[in-house]
Amino acid sequence: MTLPTATESKDVILEVCNLSKYYPVNQSFFSGKKALLHAVDNVSFQVNRGEVLGLVGESGCGKTTTGRLIVRLATPTSGRILIENTDVADIKGQGMMEFRQKVQMIFQDPYESLDPRMTIFDIVAEPLNVNGIGTFEEREAQVEEMLNLVGLAPPSAFLFRFPHELSGGQRQRVAIARALVVRPSFVVADEPTSMLDVSIRTGIMKLMAQLREDLGISYLYITHDLAVARYLCDRIAVMYLGQIVELGDSEDIVKKPVHPYTKALISAVPVPDPAIERPIPNIKGGVSKPIDPKPRCRFYDRCPESESSCAEAKNPELRDIGGGHLVACHLL
Amino acid sequence: MNELVPTHETGSASLAEPLWKIRWKLIRRGIAQNWEIFKESRIGMLGIILIIAFGIFGAMWPIMINTVWDPMVYDPVVGFDPMTMHPSPPSATHLFGTDPIGRDILAQLMYSTGREFLLGVLSAVITVVIGTAVGTAAAYYGGFIDTFFMRIADIILLFPFIPLLVVIGSMVRLSFLPFAVIMGVLGGFGGITIILKAQALSVSVRPYIDAARIAGGSDFHIIVSHIIPNVLPLSFLYMMFSVTSAILSEATLSFFGVLNIDMSWGMMIHTADVAGYLFDFAKYWWLWAPAGLAITLFCAAFYMVGRGLDEVVNPRLRKR
Amino acid sequence: MDTLLRLEDLTMHYKTKAGWVQAIDGVSFSLDKGQSLGLVGESGCGKTSIAMSIMRLLPYNAQLVKGRILFGGRNLYALSDEEVRQLRWKEVAMIFQAAMNSLNPVYSVGNQIIEAIVTHEPETGEDEARERVESLFELVGIPKERMDHYPHEYSGGMKQRAVIAMALACNPSLIIADEPTTALDVIVQDKILREIEDIRRKINMSMIYISHDVSVIAEVSDVVGVMYAGKLLELGPADDVFKRPKNPYTYSLMHAYPSILGEKHDLVTIPGEPPNLLDPPTGCRFHPRCDWATKECGETAPLWREITEGHYLACHNPIRTKQGKSCKQQKTAKGGDVIDTSDGN
């Protein structure tokens, strides 16, 4: 599967430009001094039609916030979000209604993302009901078709059951059916497999890959797991403290990482083979929070390759090092 | 489970039964399952049995007065038995004795039971409807609405409104229904709001609320279809405790004689009190004990049902 | 080598309203001094129950149906409660799942560990305990000046290290780690895994490491045990099991997850869902989900037997490389070569 990179392709479904989200935090209880947590800071990327972009990073790096901004569960502080060339960063009313049918989300925890008091039928039909799509019979047919599609067959065996009567994998399939029932063109998937058991996880991953082929959906796939991102995504963006530090073809990122953080992240992933000795990721310290960050490279304090020039230089921007492989680092 | 599954032909959308029928079955099954859990709770079952007993007791009033009892003698308010001295201790004609002005205690107890039910349930329903609506709105919208209703709740919680009602009651002589409504409203804007708001708040941050928003649901849809159904079990639980507090308040105020109520359990004790018989309460025990016991048991019954429901609503409390 | 811990046909059930949950069924293995055993399996497969059985920390509704646990030659279930209390911490210590949340927020981390030492070894003085905590902190990689800090001043990874230090405080001969890194990010997880390995080798301690993650198990264990639905399906030297998995479940588990190394390979899916242990399948518990299953698998439970030195297996149709290969080709349309167990990336 070789897909054109963003720069070559014209058919862009999602374009994010300089997206930022700052949260005010109280630095100290007594001083009442307001500080800003730069949860997402000046993030730009594109997703092409039919493509899967992986957003990878550790907890607190802003990947989930980015996802929530794109589906407009949160309103960005600044920046633009273009879905099929329409800016959705501050739409309301009718525009929002149409947007909700175009962009959907799959959540991490299948035990929490389904209303425990609703039947599977009501859950999957909800997007159709609230948008007033189709007659009752049509909705029902849609729901059954969707359940079939996500592998809950026969649908009649599931329609009138409650979430607690299903297993974790089945629930996540219901959540996927709900997201896809309005036939969105873009789906944000926030770690949909991380809560599932290994034997169930594979099935969901394969389902997501299958649905992408069948329905031509584009995904933003948010995960902390590089191996999963590699398996499912065409391109991977690595985030660190609210910024994208490296973006490129999945194989490039995994095989030929350039940014010191990506390198450390990859070498830290355990491998299922006792014979392999992994190099020790020589990254210093721990993750801090991007509260009023200094204007230099965010990774400077932990970077094993940093030079004194990095301390004075401004925050590096993403630069193309060839073949659509973007890296934000001064040392190239 | 299986009888709920509609027959399905692949490709066509056809439910074997109309949707409402399936839903009705699901509701019945849900109730049956919850009943199974409730049954495990001895205290809850005891409460149910007591409530049923009170129900039968109250239902006997119209039967007795229309068949066995002579309304001239046994009317709870204006009856009088000219055959004995009053107050008379329990006897064959007056099983629980008579009060200082010659009325039958048992008849008064029976007559009052229905009224207590009405009072308790009416005010509890008002409490819970207001509490759920206000609590949910405060939790979901936050900001000014939240602050406003929470401050009202604080005031009601902190303000000693039983003494206030004593004062108001002595001026306007509240009658039965207005009193039930006032109790309901006070309860609804008081402590219940805070509890139900906390629950609504914990529901409204669940991912399924986000999911409903992504689905395109409006605020109204999210509140009505997701938050309220998930708050309702707790509301129902607090309804039981609200009954208790309404009855106790009524008894207190009746005892002070500030309510314009012809007869209630509180009034019965009030009657004994104003006639001075409570100074020798051991001798004239039948004047206060039946009514006192009825108040205690009635309140305890609803409280116990609440405790039983607690185990249904909060699975954590369940014994395994 | 000396055997430290030995489980013989351990069978433990939980009593619930719905019936008996057969949480552990006939598990036998032994652990030598200084050895590390990795137990891998999905949630609810009984791995945590095994840990709890060894710690004798089972809930009240658990019942030991048969079998025994020998620790240093002593039958754990024949000891008095007092003797077991002596054994815990001093001989066997456990790092619980999400243990970092188990630190008491109102005491400094150092004090909590000192407290633990003094409680279990009353003869140790406060100063001596403090010195020991200092060296423990050094061992797990926390600067010792952070001893007097409170848990909220620690990051997740640091708290986890502190918990490890606490488990090591009384020099146990066996440490049981139940998913100690599951909630942590990869980089922190990697550091902690390495530290655990270092410490274990340094003080020649035995360890049982429990995880759902095959890769983590591969990193830390000498011996790997694969559990499914309360049964141990395969156990053997890590190299052997990972190179030549014999049980189809082991094989599937290892190939169900994408790897970051080598070529992108097709993933093995295990159909269905783990069974309900109230009423587990007859015969081999994995047979309804097993592509290799035959009629026999549904009828009789496979025996636990040693196939090569130290490699135990319970399976009627163990994967032989050739046979496996053909099975694999049937299974995946793209004709994956993953069964070729001799490569190893």
**A214: in domain:** yes
Residue C339 reports pLDDT greater than 50: no
Instruction: Report yes or no: A285 at the B interface, CB cutoff 8 Å.
Output: no
**B134: in domain:** yes
Mean pLDDT, to the nearest integer, of B259-280?
A: 83
Q: Please give the residue of chain B at the shortest CA–CA distance from A114.
A: B208
Residue A8 reports pLDDT greater than 80: no
**A7: in domain:** no
| Neighbours, chain A (3 or more CB pairs < 8 A) | B, C
* Side chain identity at residue B251, one-letter code: A
Chain B residues 291-320 within an 8 A CB cutoff of chain C: 320
Among B8, B12, B216, beta carbon nearest to A130: B216
What is the C-alpha R_g of chain B? 24
Q: What is the pLDDT of residue C1?
A: 60
Chain B residues 209-228 within an 8 A CB cutoff of chain A: 210-218, 221, 225-226
Token reading at C4: 């430290």
Angle at A284 between CA A281 and CA A286, to 5 degrees: 105
Which chain B residues touch C17 with a CB distance below 8 Å? 320
Q: How far is CA A228 from CA A14, C260, C261, in A?
A: 22, 8, 12
Q: In sequence order, which residues have a C-beta less than 8 Å from that of residue A22 and are 6 or more positions away?
A: A36, A37, A38, A39, A41, A77
pLDDT tens digits along A290-299: 888 888 888 8
Which of A158, A160, A166 is the best substitution to test chain B (most B C-beta atoms within 10 A)?
A160
Q: What is the pLDDT of residue B88?
A: 80
The kind and range of the H/E element at C27 are: strand C19-32
Neighbours of A300 (CB within 10 A): 16
Residue C343 reports pLDDT greater than 50: no
pLDDT tens digits along B172-188: 777 888 888 888 888 88
Which chain A residues touch B315 with a CB distance below 8 Å? none
Q: How far apart are CA B136 and CA C267, in angstroms?
A: 46
Which chain B residues touch C61 with a CB distance below 8 Å? 320
Residue B12 reports pLDDT greater than 70: no
Q: Which of A62-71, A157-166, B87-96, B189-198 has the lowest mean pLDDT?
A: B87-96
Q: What CATH number should be reported for the domain holding residue B300?
A: 1.10.3720.10
- Work out the end-to-end distance of chain A between its first and last CA atoms, rounded to an integer number of angstroms: 29
Which chain A residues touch C254 with a CB distance below 8 Å? 272
User: Average model confidence (pLDDT) for chain A?
Assistant: 88
Contacts A–C by Cβ distance under 8 A: 123
Pairing of strands A52-56, A235-240: parallel
Shortest Cα distance, chain C CAs vs residue B319, angstroms? 10
Among B206, B213, B217, beta carbon nearest to A73: B213
Pairing of strands A243-249, A235-240: antiparallel
The confidence band for C29, taking pLDDT boundaries of 50, 70 and 90, is: very high
Q: What is the pLDDT of residue A6?
A: 45
pLDDT tens digits along A119-154: 999 999 999 999 888 888 889 999 999 999 999 888
Shortest Cα distance, chain A CAs vs residue C120, angstroms? 33
Shortest Cα distance, chain B CAs vs residue C15, angstroms? 9
What is the C-alpha R_g of chain C? 21
Mean pLDDT, to the nearest integer, of C193-221?
A: 89
Q: Which of A113-127, B62-76, C202-216 has the lowest mean pLDDT?
A: B62-76
Overall residue count recorded for chain C in this entry:
345
Token reading at C61: 């509704």
A107/B207 CB distance under 8 A = yes
Shortest Cα distance, chain B CAs vs residue A240, angstroms? 25
A203/C269 CB distance under 8 A = yes
Q: In sequence order, which residues have a C-beta less than 8 Å from that of residue B195 and are 6 or more positions away?
A: B131, B135, B234, B238
Which chain B residues touch C16 with a CB distance below 8 Å? 320
- The residue with greater pLDDT, A15 or B283, is A15
Residue B119 reports pLDDT greater than 60: yes
pLDDT tens digits along C128-169: 888 888 888 887 888 888 888 888 888 878 888 888 888 888
DSSP A280: P
Q: Please give the residue of chain B at the shortest CA–CA distance from C16.
A: B320
Q: What is the pLDDT of residue A2?
A: 42
The confidence band for B320, taking pLDDT boundaries of 50, 70 and 90, is: very low
B6/A178 CB distance under 8 A = no
Q: Which of A21-30, A194-203, A248-257, A319-328 has the lowest mean pLDDT?
A: A21-30
Instruction: Report yes or no: B21 at the A interface, CB cutoff 8 Å.
Output: no
Among B6, B217, B221, beta carbon nearest to A156: B6
**B247: in domain:** yes
Instruction: Report yes or no: A126 at the B interface, CB cutoff 8 Å.
Output: yes
Mean pLDDT, to the nearest integer, of A292-310?
A: 86
**B36: in domain:** no
B215/A108 CB distance under 8 A = no
Count the domains in chain B.
1
**B199: in domain:** yes
Q: What CATH number should be reported for the domain holding residue A186?
A: 3.40.50.300
Count the domains in chain A.
1
Residue C341 reports pLDDT greater than 80: no
Residue C333 reports pLDDT greater than 50: no
Q: Please give the residue of chain B at the shortest CA–CA distance from A130.
A: B217
Chain B residues 228-257 within an 8 A CB cutoff of chain A: 229-230
Instruction: Give Cα B237 distance to the centre of its chain.
Output: 10
SS3 call for C317: coil
Residue C329 reports pLDDT greater than 50: no
Residue B317 reports pLDDT greater than 80: no
Q: What is the pLDDT of residue C321?
A: 62
Residue A27 reports pLDDT greater than 70: no
Q: Which residues of C have a CB under 8 Å from any CB of B?
A: 16-17, 61
Q: How far apart are CA C331 and CA C326, in angstroms?
A: 9
SS3 call for A78: strand
Which of A99, A101, A130 is the best substitution to test chain B (most B C-beta atoms within 10 A)?
A130
Q: How far apart are CA C35 and CA C22, in angstroms?
A: 28
Instruction: Report yes or no: A281 at the C interface, CB cutoff 8 Å.
Output: yes
Contact A204, A192 (CB under 8 A): yes
Q: What is the pLDDT of residue A258?
A: 92
Q: Is A77 exposed, middle or buried (0-12, 13-18, 19+ CB in 10 A)?
A: middle
User: Average model confidence (pLDDT) for chain B?
Assistant: 84
SS3 call for C294: coil
In this prediction, what percent of chain C has a pLDDT beyond 90?
30
DSSP A77: S
Instruction: Report yes or no: A198 at the C interface, CB cutoff 8 Å.
Output: yes
Overall residue count recorded for chain B in this entry:
320
Which of B203, B208, B234, B235 is the best substitution to test chain A (most A C-beta atoms within 10 A)?
B208
**B42: in domain:** no
Backbone dihedral region for residue C38 (phi beyond 0: left; psi -120 to 50: alpha; all else: beta): beta
Contact C232, C315 (CB under 8 A): no
**B22: in domain:** no
Among A203, A267, A272, beta carbon nearest to C215: A272
Instruction: Report yes or no: A265 at the C interface, CB cutoff 8 Å.
Output: yes
Among A107, A130, A137, beta carbon nearest to B13: A137
Q: What is the pLDDT of residue C331?
A: 44
Identify the domain containing residue A235 by its residue range: 12-270+279-327
pLDDT tens digits along A262-282: 999 998 888 888 888 888 877
Angle at B304 between CA B298 and CA B309, to 5 degrees: 130
The confidence band for C182, taking pLDDT boundaries of 50, 70 and 90, is: confident
**A1: in domain:** no
Residue C247 reports pLDDT greater than 60: yes
Instruction: Report yes or no: A285 at the C interface, CB cutoff 8 Å.
Output: no
The confidence band for C39, taking pLDDT boundaries of 50, 70 and 90, is: very high
Contact A129, A139 (CB under 8 A): yes
H-type alpha helices, B190-227 = 191-204, 207-214, 219-222
Instruction: Give Cα A212 distance to the centre of its chain.
Output: 15
Q: How far apart are CA A85 and CA A68, in angstroms?
A: 19
Mean pLDDT, to the nearest integer, of B225-245?
A: 90
Q: Which of B45-49, C190-194, C262-266 has the lowest mean pLDDT?
A: C262-266
Residue C53 reports pLDDT greater than 70: yes
**A3: in domain:** no
Largest distance between two CA atoms of chain B: 85
Q: In sequence order, which residues have a C-beta less than 8 Å from that of residue C156 and are 6 or more positions away?
A: C100, C183, C184, C188
A269/C260 CB distance under 8 A = yes
Shortest Cα distance, chain A CAs vs residue C265, angstroms? 8
Identify the domain containing residue B290 by its residue range: 57-317
Beta bridge partners of A23: A37
The confidence band for C204, taking pLDDT boundaries of 50, 70 and 90, is: confident
Q: Please give the residue of chain B at the shortest CA–CA distance from A106.
A: B211
- The residue with greater pLDDT, A276 or A105, is A105
Q: How far apart are CA B176 and CA B295, in angstroms?
A: 17
Residue A186 reports pLDDT greater than 90: yes
A126/B215 CB distance under 8 A = yes
Which chain C residues touch A249 with a CB distance below 8 Å? none
pLDDT tens digits along C59-106: 888 999 999 999 988 898 898 988 888 888 888 988 887 766 778 888
Among A101, A119, A136, beta carbon nearest to B26: A119
Shortest Cα distance, chain B CAs vs residue A227, angstroms? 26
Which chain C residues touch B320 with a CB distance below 8 Å? 16-17, 61
- The sign one gets for the Cα dihedral B175, B177, B181, B183 is positive
Mean pLDDT, to the nearest integer, of A234-244?
A: 94
Nearest residue to C13 via CA among C284, C299, C314, C280: C280
Neighbours of C153 (CB within 10 A): 12
Mean pLDDT, to the nearest integer, of A64-69?
A: 94
Q: How far apart are CA B107 and CA B65, in angstroms?
A: 8
The confidence band for A31, taking pLDDT boundaries of 50, 70 and 90, is: low
Place of tokens 């009629």: C295
The kind and range of the H/E element at B242 are: helix B228-255
Mean pLDDT, to the nearest integer, of A68-89?
A: 91
| Neighbours, chain B (3 or more CB pairs < 8 A) | A, C
- Name the most confidently modeled range: A213-217, A219-223, B28-32: A219-223
Which chain A residues touch B211 with a CB distance below 8 Å? 105, 107, 113-115, 175, 178
What is the C-alpha R_g of chain A? 21
Contact B233, B312 (CB under 8 A): yes
Chain A residues 12-71 within an 8 A CB cutoff of chain B: 71
Q: How far apart are CA A261 and CA A299, in angstroms?
A: 7
H-type alpha helices, A269-318 = 308-312
Q: How far apart are CA C23 and CA C47, in angstroms?
A: 9
B5/A156 CB distance under 8 A = yes
Among A113, A130, A155, beta carbon nearest to B221: A130
Shortest Cα distance, chain A CAs vs residue B116, angstroms? 34
Contact C275, C269 (CB under 8 A): no
Residue A198 reports pLDDT greater than 70: yes
**Domains of chain C listed by start with CATH number:** 3-108+163-227 (3.40.50.300), 239-331 (no CATH)
Q: How far apart are CA C265 and CA C255, in angstroms?
A: 9
Which chain C residues touch A275 with a CB distance below 8 Å? 239, 242-243, 344
